[in-house]
Amino acid sequence: MTISVTLPALGESVTEGTVTRWLKQPGDQVQEDEPLLEVSTDKVDTEIPAPATGVLLTVLVGEDETVEVGAQLAVIGPPDAAAATTAVTAATAAPVAAPQPAPSPAPVAQPPAAAQMPEPAPAAPAPAPAPALVPQPAPAPAPIPAPAPAAAPAPRPAPAAATAGAKAPPTAALRGHTAPVPRLRKAVGDSLKQALLEQAQLTSTVEADATGLLRLWRRTADGYTAREGFTLTPLPFFVLAAAQALKAHPVINARIDASGTTITYYDTENVGITVDTDQGPVTPVVRGAGDLTVSGIARAVHDLTEHALAGRLTPADVAGATFTVSDTGTRGALFDTLIVPPHQAAVLGVGAAVRRPAVVQDGDEEFIGVRALVHLSLSYDHRLVDGADAARYLTTVKKIVEAAAFEDLI
């Protein structure tokens, strides 16, 4: 019995995918859930696993071809089809090896002549499935599995800290060079351009004093690393502050449907975090962030970032965000006018923490002190969110950041 491999649903609003690379070729043994091919969408590049154990008989969609969700990609046969496939592979390989004896003396001239005839070759083994399989190994180029080592996750740098940032590509090597746009970058760019065309976007900014938050982070970071096995960064504190503020301002945690007539107010805070990869930005999702602790968010950010850098994100990892936080401050930016992602009402940008003189209030007293100041920028869809709504939300985030009451949540 054969089993069809189809393109599965790859996340919210994703209707098609592009086959970027086959990890197996016809005739190869495959195990159930073993990666079979790679597919690119406007959300993420992902691997499609084999639905069953057996032999890959037929590849129906070539690399760089785009198909709709549910389309048939390949056919897997039973494991005992391996022998037939091996016989066919040997038969089709015979014409290549046979010319070597051609210069031999006359007594050995007959076998090469017979071997050079490709037509009779399939008839000799005579297994029933062989004729149907003969065409398959031939068009599949042998180098297909070869790129796998180059794409292995090992060379990709595992983040030293659980931040939503990755090592930038070697820009020096790009000077004077023309290259095709990576699929992921093009897909993300097209999606954001469409969002700009459909939404009325603008940005509001406040400045928050993150001195206490950063002191708490530095005081607890070493113990956290020893306990959890990975580095705690400031990002989870800001994600939690953003998620808690969403509970108080549901208009920010919402979306307008495609017709512009219905508003959906979400009952959970699924926060996307922007990860900078060498193929372009991806936005995996921390689910239920408003109900997590700093430690819980830190674990989710760490795992999602590692998966993003290694190219192991699944469609489920990037689907369902109701809000997004982008930590552009890790690259030194003071603030940013971010683009609101599709199907969301707003995105929060966290700028770099800069030490500057500032007015500090202690009860009724005011004095000048050196503080760590951070710009928090909210880009939002003005069709749904008014300027007053944005200001109220940012003020709430600012208060949570400045209070820094996170110690019991680490």
Residues catalogued as catalytic: 382, 386
Write the CB contacts of 229 (distance below 8 Å, at least 6 apart in sequence). none
**Backbone phi, then psi, for 194, in 5-degree steps?**
-65, -40
Q: Are strands 346-350 and 323-326 parallel, antiparallel or unpaired?
A: parallel
Which residue is listed with tokens 């530095």? 218
Task: Tell me how far apart the alpha carbons of residues 119 and 109 are, in angstroms, rounded to a whole number.
Answer: 19
- Among candidate residues 271, 203, 282, 267, the one with its CA nearest the CA of residue 238: 271
- Report in angstroms the alpha-carbon separations of 3 from 54, 140, 251, 343, 364: 9, 20, 47, 36, 75
Dump the DSSP string for 206-267.
EEEE-HHHHHHHHHHHHHHHHHHSSB--SHHHHHHHHHHHHHH-TTTSEEE-TTSS-EEE-S
Is the CB of residue 328 less than 8 Å from the CB of residue 342? no
Using N-to-C axis directions, what is the helix angle for 387-403 and 235-248, rounded to 10°? 130
Is the CB of residue 377 less than 8 Å from the CB of residue 336? yes
Task: Tell me how far apart the alpha carbons of residues 161 and 138 are, in angstroms, rounded to a whole number.
Answer: 47
Q: Which residues of 50-68 are buried (b: 16+ CB within 10 A; e: fewer)?
A: bbbebbbbbbebeeeeebe
Count the Cβ atoms, other than its own, within 10 Å of residue 179. 6
Task: Tell me how far apart the alpha carbons of residues 305 and 230 are, in angstroms, rounded to a whole number.
Answer: 12
Write the CB contacts of 393 (distance below 8 Å, at least 6 apart in sequence). 245, 246, 249, 252, 346, 378
| Sheet strand arrangement including 35-40 | 45-49, 35-40, 16-22, 66-68
Is the CB of residue 354 less than 8 Å from the CB of residue 334? yes
